[in-house]
Each structure stands twice: as C-alpha cells, then as structure tokens.
Amino acid sequence: MSESASTSPAHQASRRRTFAVIAHPDAGKSTLTEALALHAHVISEAGAVHGKAGRKSTVSDWMEMEKDRGISIASSALQFEYSPEGHAGEPYVINLVDTPGHADFSEDTYRVLTAVDAAVMLIDGAKGLEPQTLKLFRVCKARGLPIVTVVNKWDRPGKPPLELIDEIVAEIGLQPTPLFWPVGEAGDFRGLARLNTDGEVEEYIHFIRTAGGSTIAPEEHYTPDEALEKEDTAWETACEEAELLAMDGAIHDEELFLSCTTSPVIFASAMLNFGVHQILDTLCALAPSPGPRSSDPKVVEAASSAIDDHRDVDGEFSGVVFKVQAGMDKNHRDSLAFMRIVSGEFHRGMQVTHAQSGRSFSTKYALTVFGRTRETVETAYPGDIVGLVNAGSLAPGDTIYAGRKVQFPPMPQFAPEHFRTLRAKSLGKYKQFRKALEQLDSEGVVQVLKNDARGDAAPVMAAVGPMQFEVMQARMDNEYNVETVTDPVPYTVARKTDAATVPALAKQRGVEVFTRTDGELVALFGDKWRLQFITKEHPEFHLEPMVADD
C-alpha cells in the first residue's frame, strides 16, 4: 500500500470503503468481486470465462467444494487501492468482502454484515428479487447498512428495467434511484446513460466487448446528441425511462441513501466487465467511511470498572472478530481470525487484550488475505480487515482492544433448522475427531450440541442449512484425515431454555435438552406442533426463540 500524507486514523478512515457483495446464489457475486479487482488493476485477467463447464474458479474461491460446485461457501476478504477517473487525491482503500450466496450459509453472510459499512446487492436481471435476495435486503435495512443495487447479467435476456425497479419498490419498500441506466434491452447491452443528481441524462458510455470478458472493456463517451445519432431508438427509450423515473421522484439523495430509504442503481455485466468501474466510482463517492461503534450496553452497565461506552475511529485501537477460518492453506496448519478494525491504528506485533477473557496476547502474525494469497500486514486502520494467525482464543463476535477496555455487542446466531449426529467412522480416529470438532465449532461452521446421554462421541450438529454438514464432513476429511458419518435425529425446532426449566422439560415426550459449546442450554423439539403443545401446557417454561437479533 502506498505511503499516505497522513497516518492519523481519522484521515485513513476517510479513505476507506468497506462493503460486502451479497445476493442470491448464482447472481454473479464472485465474478463481480473479481471484475472489481480487475478494474483496480490488482489482477491482469479475470478467472471467470463464459459457461460453467469451462469456468475457472475465481480468485476469491479457495475451498475445493467451491471450485467443484462453482459457488462461494466461505466469505473472502480482498483489499486494494482504487482511484476513480479524474480523482486527484490519494487513492481510496477498498475492503471488499465476498460472501456465500447459498441460503445454507446465511449465518456466515450475517457475520460479514456486522463488519462492513455498506452493501452491494447483486440482482440477476432475468430473475429479479429472489428469496435470499429479499432476506439479505431486509437484514441490511434492519442493520442500517446503505445499499447500492447492481442489476447484473444485463448482457443476457431478462426483465424490462422498469419492471425490476417496480419490483424492488413493491417487495421491500426501498426506492431505487438509478445513476446509470441501460442503453439497450436485456440481452442487447450497448452501454449506460449516466444520470446526474437531478435525474437528467448527462452522457452515454458505450462499452466495447473483449475476448471472453477477461480484460477491462474499453469505453467510448458520447454527448446525448451524439448518442441519439449512434443508438437511435435505444437511446430514446433509455432517456424516456430515465425521465419517467425522475418525474416519479427516483432521484438520488445522499441523506436518504445513508438512512437506507433509497438505493442507487447501476446496470452491469460482471462477466463482460461492463459497468464495473462505475460501481467502484459510486462506492467511493457515496458509500460511508468507517464511523464510531458503541460498546455492548449490558457490559457497560455491569462493569465494576471504567469501560469505554464507544470508540471513535481516532480513539485507541479496537477491533471485532467476525469470522474464524482454518484450512485455507494445506501447507499451513493454522487458523485465521478475521478482524474488522474499528478504531485507532493497528501495528503488527502490538500487545492487545481479549475483552471476553481479559487475556493479553501479541499480534505477531497478521495478514491480509486475497483468496489463497497471504501478505503480512504491518499497519491497518479503521475499516480494514486483518487476519490474525493462530489466535486460538478468538471467536466470532469477540472484541480485542488496547488501552481502556471496550467490548462490542456479541454476534447473534441464526436459528438452526437442521440437526444430525456426527461420528467418526473409525474409533481409532477419536482423538483427531475431537480436535477437528473443536476447531470447526470455534469457527461457527455448525453449532455443536452435547448432553450426558449421547456423550462426546456422537454430538448433535445444528445448522441453518444441510450443506453446512457437507462442509463439516469435507473439512474433517481433507484437513484432519477423519472420515465421518452423519445420522438423522427426530428434531426440527430449537429453543433456548434455562437451568430452572430443564428438569421438567426433559421429562416431556419429543424433547431433548443439550448444552451448546458456549454454555447455552438448547431444547430440541420434534416439530412446531409439539413445541406449541408444550408451551400451552406449561406456560411457566422458559423457551426463547434462537433468532438473530437484527
């Protein structure tokens, strides 16, 4: 990273744009991630080519399952510098987090959303708002994350653009405000009409295709009059549609964008690299830079000694762990704790304190991670994402700090909906099985539930989606050489309970009580009707939904 004129945390934070790319599976998230890196000149050629049969794995996909299936299973953090066209000052620092698209990994995506300042929501131009897209839109809105909407795959046949805009308004109540409107219908993507803040068309950006879309698409810029001569009715249609939207009030307002009332819209084709640098330019111009974060109010209230109630970006160092991941490199049997810098300046090797345990440790091994590529990071600032190597005591949601204590709110967990026991095929592998289980549990791959009746050899795995079990088994096999077997259990609903309720609850038919690794008592029920019956018969039972607090 280049030297900055100022190393103050506040100045460095102002240069940062930290965002996640989120969408429904197969909307093109990983392809867009790579296209953005291509336009920032981090890579010279995109790794995705036409057609999944010949598709290379993108640089952000590192797990064998990801390469085999062509989907992202784990989130991946990329950092690079970028200067918009005509930008005279220091380059922006982009912290981009690609997330799993599959609904089975919603919990991993949710964790990422606690670590970013904005989101790029990718919509397939042919499919529109799909169930996972809707869910993630709502999570972003509930968390107060500004959203930039990108309609992707406009080089393929799809819905009319005005229909997509109406769909967003009707389904989620978010007002789209187009900044770049497509010239040419879906499947005939010629370029983009750039709109100003009053919704008026200012220029036409015409894209020129490259072989396989593997390099940056050249652009030609035309005035509105030149565009009319070049594109005729396609340009007229684009201008008419833009005018209709402006008359309807679909005009960008920064305050409404930051309050998640409106969402700037850009049409693009990540596969062809059309509209990609317009996305980066929009994020640099409009997305918020890192801001202050408040401490967990429960911790502040209960503290017997002084604790900071929040941290400004220019305060003492603090960071929050949002993901722990092992097995990213078979040559390094280590784990990485991905930390979002919240405040202050991070120096590799600095002594920090783990808020949850009070223990002190050194950050000697700190990395930035680009897919499988690792680079040592010496200094980082608010908004940056740093991987701490072999920080075994850290878990998602943990706070680390220097100076006065600060502790940020814990990371909520999604309610599990799928349950299976897990056991090693060979009894001789029990020791490795337990070690692997402890590691993957600490990462939050699944929730691990145990009780005395079942013992430690066959704990119950609780997951949001069944594919999480496949990831668990694949990683146990690949990283620990432990083949495992899963067996179904007759439960479909989970609730948190307390010690006072357990004795009577455990006597109920169709219920089993477990202890989660973090000490939480969890009751599993055969189905929702069984839960309803027990709740009605025993209103005194403490049964709390296991739902993420968003």
Residue ranges for the binding site for GTP? 98-102
* Residues 191/250, Cβ–Cβ less than 8 Å: no
Q: How many helices (H) and strands (E) does the chain have?
A: 15, 30
CA distance 318 to 345: 8
List for the chain the helix, strand, coil content (%; round to 5): 30, 30, 45
CA atoms within 13 A on the CB side of 58: 31
Instruction: Give me the residues paired with residue 204 across strands.
Output: 193, 222
Give one DSSP letter per residue of 141-196, joined into a string: HHHT--EEEEEE-TTS----HHHHHHHHHHHH--EEEEEEEEES-TT---EEEEE-
Which residue ranges are tagged as binding site? 98-102
Q: How far is CA 124 from CA 67, 186, 189, 190, 351, in A?
A: 21, 11, 14, 18, 46
Closest CA to 381 of 313, 320, 323: 313
What SS3 class is residue 241?
helix
Closest CA to 126 of 185, 181, 67: 185
Largest CA distance in the chain: 80
* Residues 366/386, Cβ–Cβ less than 8 Å: yes
Residues 6 or more apart whose Cβ sits within 8 Å of residue 198: 246, 251
Tokens of 130: 């799909």
CA distance 477 to 468: 14
Closest CA to 112 of 427, 388, 338: 338
Instruction: Give me the residues paired with residue 447 across strands.
Output: 462
CA distance 491 to 511: 8
Tokens of 1: 């990273």
CA distance 186 to 267: 10
Closest CA to 267 of 149, 423, 368: 149
CA angle 246, 274, 241 (to 5 degrees): 20
